[in-house]
Amino acid sequence: MKIAISSEGSNLNAQVGHRFGGSPYLIIADLGTGNFEAVPNPGSLGQHGTGVQTIVLIISKDVKAALTGYCSPAARRHLEANGIEIFTGLSGTVGEVLESYKKGEIQKTEAATIEREPGKRVVNKAILIHAMKRSGNQFASMLPIFLGVVLLIGLLNTFVSRNFLAALFSGNPVLDTLLGAFFGSILAGNAINSYIIGGELLEYGVSLFTVTALIITWVTVGLVQLPVEIAALGRRFALLRNGICFILSIPIAIITVFIVNLVTR
Amino acid sequence: MKGLKTLTRMFIFPVCVLACYGIVCAIEPHKALIAMKTSGNLLLYIALPLVLVFVIMLALNLFVKPAQIVGLFGKGLRIKGIVFSAVAGIISMGPIYVWYPLLKNLREEGAGDGPMAIFLYTRAVKPFLLPVMIAYFGWLYVVILTVLTVFASIATGCFMSVLMKK
């Protein structure tokens, strides 16, 4: 049995291609003999009609399964109509994906909705359960810190006086906005926490300029994650991006509050 | 080991807060009670928006796959690249460090600095958290901030494209 894996290179150490039709190579692996061949993907040229050539190539190689990062619905339809199974959402090297497939660790991906009757779509039950599990995990992972923030706000409400916060913030929109942007840059975590903290700060009389700058920089500037960003995208990119985002947060906060005041006046 | 690290990162903050409650409870129990009551009221206030958060998260997980998000990325800073990178940033979920390996991979494939910066900026727009944001700040504020955030992301993308070439 032969399978096709979209690839960024011509060997098993190359990364799996993100798009089936647009990857530079297709690795055709024969599971029976263990041999493989790297075929240049006509679809990678991006010219009109080359996507069809990729599909024709796969069918002509007598491939039974196609493994990739993403496969367009149109290509999926043509391939499945020719008895080829599609496995998407894959990443890592071609060799790793090949091994996982041999061990039966890769599940066939299906569309989230399926057509039971003409024109009537229903949600695929297995996909729904998987999505619910995933959402549950994502929700559960943000819950502990979120609850911590809520509990902390209870403490702050009880012990921190309005006078203290009034002293911390000068009342000058530009300076207070800078201070908000600074706090947002050093604090990290789910954005929901910035909304709750921002909302509570407003209750304490802190200006909307400060809160807006805090909300913007909370996600766009990450001093805590800076080392990871540098490692992934390079020092120059990370420093420039964070710097630009910090500077931009000031006018954005001021313009936002200005427009809100203008409309509500 | 990795699981232990993740658990530590998740629980260290709430455990510290609970420890603070313990100290306050020992010194001024009535104030600890007031703080707990305030937190309880806050939780009640955002309970409904949190349910909506879960529903939107579920919808995104059901119909949007990470590979599709990656597929939306543009290589150059043209209109299509700008729009797709912004959309990808808005619908992406989870902590940013989860996305760095994918971004690194994209970069190696030649994705431009502009689209990358736009993606990272528009992550500030969280469709699934909008119910909570609206509950706190109102519709008008959220709409204005969201629109300006998208414009700011494009500005960041343009700046990055120019500055990274130098």
CA A26, CA A49: separation in Å to the nearest integer? 17
CB contact under 8 A, A232 and B148: no
pLDDT in tens, B50-86: 787 788 778 877 776 655 565 566 555 678 778 888 8
Average pLDDT over residues A59-69: 86
Q: Which residue among B11, B94, B120 sits closest to A241, beta carbon to beta carbon?
A: B120
Nearest Cα of chain B lies from the Cα of A79 at a distance, in angstroms, of 18
Tokens read off for A205: 């009389």
- Determine the residue among B9, B24, B145 to mutate to test chain A binding: the one whose Cβ has the most chain A Cβ atoms within 10 Å: B145
- Termini Cα distance of chain B: 43
Chain B: closest CA distance from residue A28 (Å): 21
HSE-up of residue B13 (Cα within 13 Å, Cβ side) = 19
The 10s digit of each residue's pLDDT in A125-177 is 777 787 788 788 877 877 887 788 788 878 877 887 666 766 777 678 888 89
Establish if A245 touches chain B: CB-CB under 8 angstroms: yes
Name residues whose C-beta falls within 8 Å of residue B123's C-beta, 6 or more positions apart in sequence: A219, A220, B89, B90, B92, B96
Q: Which of B:72-101 have CB within 8 Å of A?
A: 93-97, 100-101
Nearest to A24 by CA among A39, A4, A3, A44: A44
Please tell me the distance in Å from A148's CA to the nearest CA on chain B.
Answer: 4
Q: What is the pTM of this model?
A: 0.61
Give CA–CA dist A4/A172, Å, rounded. 63
Chain B contact present for A131, CB below 8 A: yes
Predicted confidence band of residue B9 (pLDDT cuts 50, 70, 90): confident
Nearest to A245 by CA among B45, B61, B123: B123
Report the topology of domain A2-109.
Nucleotidyltransferase; domain 5 (3.30.420)
The answer to whether A185 and A246 are in contact (CB under 8 A) is yes
B137 in Cβ contact with B147 (< 8 Å) = no
Measured CA to CA, the distance from residue B48 to residue B27 in angstroms comes to: 35
Set of chain B residues whose Cβ sits within 8 Å of the Cβ of A18: 67, 70-71, 106, 109
CA distance A222 to A141: 20
Instruction: Name the phi and psi angles at B40, rounded to 5.
Output: -60, -45
Chain A: nearest CA to B105, how far in angstroms? 9
